[in-house]
Structure 1
């Protein structure tokens, strides 16, 4: 079996988490998958996978080799794509991740338009409220809300969102409106784990960070649940500004404590720099960037923060 096929088998086992999954993905028999992996490990003289009766995971050497395999396979895929189609007619499969509610409201419509415009590209969109790892999970593009941490990622700035505190008018009528964040200790709170620490919400006062302890009546892990709880007068909640925008417009939620809002949170489009020349990725970046930068929900900017309109390489990704 050739080396590229062995690499494909190894990557498929890791991605699917089992030999059976790799067999199904590649259309190979189970024994053929095992032979390919054994041949690869024998040729390299190192164990790439740690196997138990319940799981298969890469060893330390396997993780390092996995990245190298992805680079080689991506290069081959891109080379084939470039021969098969011009840059303005991309082909292949594009894998995108985005937060659930942000993805539903802003990314999904753009993905649909992109798919119609580029019919030779298949799109795999993953909407999930957790940080996806581009290399490890085989993502081409990730929309990230938050400050970036440590990795070799290419980031295209899209804008900013605010972390805001909201309450239903009926709740405020019944319990009064807090005028300082510390007064939240006397209120019912709904903590959304995607934005705030469940027991500590962050505000700013006189330019300084102001953490405030809360005792939530409810803790949820999905933004729509926090919105519904706040609308139903369960308590006060903290959300990103775009998450409560429809409810603010229809009057079912009101922003409060606006003079104590923390700094804006950046929104970026991330992709691995080595893939930047890929037609499908470049086309998507160009297709969505201007539209998202014009989105009014991404135009909250602090004095010290501004979108400069150019992509940049960052040394951090969380």
Structure 2
């Protein structure tokens, strides 16, 4: 039995909440996942998991073992990086993740600068609107928009992002512009579903510090911000997106921002990475490169 492999599989089962989910995430047959955990339990002479029809739960011994195994695997990864020289010279693969459009517009240009300046660094940039789990999916640095949950991650704030409502000049020319969020009930809207799955848009009340959800009437619902912006620019309806997603269209006069006095508080933007001891040189280089440049890009919006 490969105990390190068995540890890694056990951690994935514990984090995923079940054998089937761990099997899918790792691309390992379900039978192999179950067998490795059973072999580990037999080797230790202790039951680590309580199996039910729907999920698994850690026993007390299992919880203690998982905490220790996680620390051991992280230390092994750091030792391997140090042996390869990644702590002393900027080299090796750097895995980054960012939201799709934000990554393409703002992270990719910085990655290009890093690659030009450091020929021994290679980058894998994972653009996804799903928040990847940094430790499980072996991601070094992530760009995140929004409040961060409490975690073991280290966060560097690089700015804030407005949530804006915008419409095409042609649509606004057809009637008086909305003066309050409730006016949107009379306007056709383009709903960006990941931001507003229930077709209710969030606004700040002018007279209080609180917020309110205002139902809208979607003529069109889309799953990508670029589609929402494009449809709004064509006059299909009013849309609500993050500012960076419509900034080019606003700059080019294709859209106008409306109801700015009712915008919710701007969402923080961070670069995050796992808490650890000494950072590999490739990560220090990227964080030094990215933080200042991203602050400038976000401030320019």
Query: Please, what TM-score do these two structures have when normalized by structure 2?
Result: 0.80
CA spacing shift, 1:66–1:95, aligned 2, 3 Å: farther
Counterpart-to-counterpart distance in 2, 1:19 and 1:187: 43
Q: How does 1:258-269 map to 2 (within 5 A)?
A: 258-269=260-271
CA deviation string 1:161-217 (max 9, x = no partner)? 111110011111224311221111110111213434543222221453342222222
Residue 60 (structure 1) aligned with residue 58 (structure 2): yes
Residue 99 (structure 1) aligned with residue 105 (structure 2): no
Match for residue 247 of structure 2? 245
Match for residue 208 of structure 1? 209
Tell me if structure 2 keeps the 8 A contact 1:167–1:254. Answer: yes
Cα distance, 1:109 vs structure 2? 2.2
Match for residue 228 of structure 2? 226
CA spacing shift, 1:123–1:20, aligned 2, 3 Å: same
Tell me if structure 1 keeps the 8 A contact 2:87–2:279. Answer: no
239-248 or 192-201, which moves further after superposition? 192-201
* Runs (5+) with no aligned partner, structure 2: none
Q: How does 1:35-114 map to 2 (within 5 A)?
A: 36-44=36-44, 45-47=46-48, 59-60=57-58, 68-85=68-85, 87-114=87-114
Cα distance, 1:249 vs structure 2? 1.2
CA spacing shift, 1:222–1:107, aligned 2, 3 Å: same
* Runs (5+) with no aligned partner, structure 1: 24-29, 301-318
CA spacing shift, 1:47–1:96, aligned 2, 3 Å: same
Residue 21 (structure 1) aligned with residue 19 (structure 2): no
230-239 or 194-203, which moves further after superposition? 194-203
Counterpart-to-counterpart distance in 2, 1:60 and 1:235: 51
Pairs aligned (count): 290
CA spacing shift, 1:20–1:216, aligned 2, 3 Å: closer
Cα distance, 1:276 vs structure 2? 5.8
Tell me if structure 2 keeps the 8 A contact 1:203–1:260. Answer: yes
Q: Secondary structure at the match of 2:94?
A: strand
Q: CA RMSD in A?
A: 3.4
Cα distance, 1:157 vs structure 2? 0.3
CA spacing shift, 1:5–1:119, aligned 2, 3 Å: farther
Match for residue 293 of structure 1? 295
Cα distance, 1:35 vs structure 2? 6.4
Q: Secondary structure at the match of 1:46?
A: coil
Tell me if structure 2 keeps the 8 A contact 1:158–1:298. Answer: no
Q: Secondary structure at the match of 1:262?
A: coil
Counterpart-to-counterpart distance in 1, 2:299 and 2:262: 19
Cα distance, 1:222 vs structure 2? 1.2
Tell me if structure 2 keeps the 8 A contact 1:198–1:219. Answer: no
CA spacing shift, 1:40–1:261, aligned 2, 3 Å: same
Q: Secondary structure at the match of 1:135?
A: coil
Counterpart-to-counterpart distance in 2, 1:235 and 1:63: 52
Match for residue 180 of structure 1? 180
229-238 or 35-44, which moves further after superposition? 35-44
CA spacing shift, 1:115–1:43, aligned 2, 3 Å: farther
